[in-house]
Structure 1
Amino acid sequence: MRYLLAVDDPPEMLVFRPTETVVELPAPDRATEAAVRRSLGRRRPLRDPGADAVDRLDLLAEALTPELTALVVLWLGGTRRASRDTRIGYADDLLLWADWARTELGRERFGLDVQRGEVTMWLTCQQDAGAAASSISRRLSALSSLYRYAAGWGVPAVCPISDDDHRPKFHRGRRATSARVLDADQIEALLAAAGDVRDALIVGLLYTGALRVSELCGADDVDRHDEGRRTWLVVTRKGGNAVRVPLETTVAELLDLYRATRPVWNGAGPAPLIADAAGDRLDRHDVTRVLRRLARAAGIPRPQTIGPHSLRATAITDQKRRGHNAEDLQELSGHADVRTVMIYIDDDGRRERVAALTDDLGRVMTAVPRHLKSPGVS
């Protein structure tokens, strides 16, 4: 493991100098850094997608100033960011900010010195590139969260993000940029196209469990449990809560077959539930590539629009169409708010049903006098 702060012992205090004011912060200890490193996992560099996966924390250390890197370790190690998915999302968004600053502003290392006008430039670049309003909002939120954390330590860095100038307005219901929803026949086609047990297992877990990709990638081998005739998988939901989800019988059988042939794990800590060919933990990019490869093999139109969230949205939509209520779908999907479930439901018959409700309410309209409906008729 490569430590960010020192080869031997980390310093007791970290000097942070974004301005002339000197602010001393406690340096993250080795245990915190190791925990954040494990949580963030690995990914391929932004500018070299064909390269081998690298620890995200090492990518951050190369992209950020040393002082900000250490602050980010403390930030991501906090209990408010306990969810692995949240930590990975924040880390990836920071890498995007740093890449933009290097490309557009010529800054080798990213620090807390972004100006308000520069955020406006960034926003224009994002919009010109066709980034979704939801993605822009999330990336702004990541940076503003880091600025708030720094301010909590007394770092005199003013957040350059303005709610008036920079926050995009967007509708949070289903929209054109929402995950693509398939039908059950297309899910079957994905399974039929699988060339090995692992690929079929990925599709089965995501679909029958309506899992988030972070829940799938973050699961360890020790999270699988047998109880009676049912196999369960412990997954970590958003917010860091661990819950047990039931595994469908065939999916459980595929998991047993996969575990018998899974590459040997030589890393620290428990082995991942699903690994790549080298034995490393899968990330969401790996899963996306698997699904799009299967979609192409299955002949599904526009395979490039299919991702892990498509299977989750498809599962929720399928069960809604089959008559299950929103509360049960909330339990299946693990959403804290039942209203959020409706965002994932792409129900082709919804407009027709609403129209039918309107027609039914319209039964009172028979009371309208006939001559009003047909002027000139006595």
Structure 2
Amino acid sequence: MNDLPEPLVFRPAETAVELPAPDPITEAAVRRSLGRRRPLHGQGNEQVDRLDLLAEALTPELTALVVLWLGGSRRASHDTRIGYADDLLLWADWARRELGHERFGLDLHRGEVTMWLTCQQDAGAAASSISRRLSTLSSLYRYAAGWGLPAVCPISDDDHRPKFHRGRRATSARVLDADQVEALIAAAGDVRDALIVGLLYTGALRVSELCGADDTDRHDEGRRTWLVVTRKGGKSVRVPLETTVAELLDLYRAMRPAWTGTGPAPLVADANGGRLDRHDVTRLLRRLARAAGIPRPETVGPHALRATAITDQKRRGHGAEELQELSGHADVRTVMIYIDDDGRAERVAALTDDLGRVMTAVPRHLKSPG
């Protein structure tokens, strides 16, 4: 991204609000956190810094505001920043195609959001995805308003917010069997592939936690190796590494491509030595799933390994609090989704039968003959 304009001035009809330009340190931190991805409609497979893609898609004023927004402590999570950036790129792409906006700015009105919603629904987008993309935009509008900028959020709870069930749905991550995870590992063609599967599964890691981890986040204490990962909300926690996974990590570090970027080297790199992103990991897992002969390999992704790990441990008798510790969910109610939906029908039937103890009091003459 080229130098950002300074100062940035938003000019409504009667007043001008001056917004300071992001400092180089904040911009560099956001750029590093966002990483790279392939353009939505680019040629070839070359990856580009997300911040450069945003600078091309957004107005200069909004680009600067987004850097400040993503650089704030409330959006410190690596996964949150990337999710917000990708959602904004989708909004900008839609506004370019449907509204003819060369660059996206905070100037949408309510009717245009209704039009966007219709397009999303016609395209078959899940209600949860629609809700997340609306939340991204409304969060940015709130941030702009906090600076005193004349940006009125066009999103209406009545007209635009879809209602959806937050339990596991048909679109939730697939849950594999443990033997299928073993088949993924057995299909690994090199140390890195096996390491990625092992880290995601045995640590029940989010893909953002894996991709955002640096080599300096690995620590040895006695016979145990630990990995410091950044959870949602920006909280850093230590995750223990399973012994074989730690051994694979040692092997991989000895052969890892040289890091030529700024800042600490990534824990796991792509083939060119750059930082992995979730798309790289998804492609890798689906390639392994095809090689392992797992049905519907296109449904195997990073979150499938996390969901499988949590479900596996639930089935082995561990309770909600232990699963919360494993998964790093801030709210135990989220963990309950895995517990509630795994064998739910059988459990509810058993509870119903148990409650049926009182039904022995039904008088004999009221019961059907025989």
**TM-score scaled to structure 2, two decimals?**
0.97
Q: How does 1:13-24 map to 2 (within 5 A)?
A: 13-17=7-11, 21-24=15-18
SS at match of 2:233: coil
Gaps spanning 5+ residues in structure 2: where? Answer: none
Asked whether 1:5 is paired with 2:4, we answer yes
Q: Distance in 2 between matches of 1:191 and 1:346?
A: 29
After superposing on structure 2, the runs of 4+ consecutive aligned residues of structure 1 that deviate more than 3 Å are: 17-21, 344-348
Match for residue 65 of structure 1 among 53, 59, 68: 59
Asked whether the 8 Å contact 2:320–2:339 carries over to 1, the reply is: no
Deviation at 1:66, TM superposition (A): 0.4
Identity of aligned residues (%): 88
| Equivalences for residues 90-105 of structure 1 within 5 A | 90-105=84-99
Q: 1:25 pairs with 19, 23, 26, which one?
A: 19
Partner of residue 212, structure 1:
206
**Aligned match of 1:324:** 318
- Separation in 2, partners of 1:218, 1:201: 15
- The 1-side partners of 2:342 and 2:319 are apart by 17
Q: 1:37 aligns to what? A: 31
Q: Which moved more, 1:150-159 or 1:162-171?
A: 150-159
Alignment of 1:129-208 (within 5 A): 129-208=123-202
1:347 CA drift (Å): 5.2
Deviations 1:224-248 (A, max 9, x none): 1111111100000111111100000
Cα offsets for 1:323-368 (capped at 9, x unmatched) = 0111000000001111111223575533212211211111111110
Q: Match for residue 233 of structure 2?
A: 239
* Separation in structure 2 between the aligned mates of residue 18 and residue 52 of structure 1, nearest angstrom: 40
Q: Structure 2: how far apart are the matches of 1:346 and 1:315?
A: 16
Contact between 1:313 and 1:345, CA under 8 Å: does it hold in 2? no
Residues 1:62 and 1:83: Cα distance change in structure 2 (over 3 Å): same
Tell me how far apart the structure 1 counterparts of residues 243 and 341 of structure 2 sit (CA, whole Å): 28
With normalisation by structure 1, the TM-score equals: 0.95
Question: Contact 2:56–2:103 at 8 Å: present in 1 too?
Answer: yes
* Superposition deviation, residue 19 in structure 1: 5.6
Partners of 1:4 and 1:70 within 8 A in 2: no
**Equivalent residue number for residue 227 of structure 1:** 221
> Does the CA contact (< 8 Å) of 1:144 and 1:161 recur in 2?
yes
Q: 2:305 aligns with which of 290, 307, 311?
A: 311
| Number of residue equivalences | 370
Alignment of 1:231-310 (within 5 A): 231-310=225-304
Counterpart code for 1:356 = A
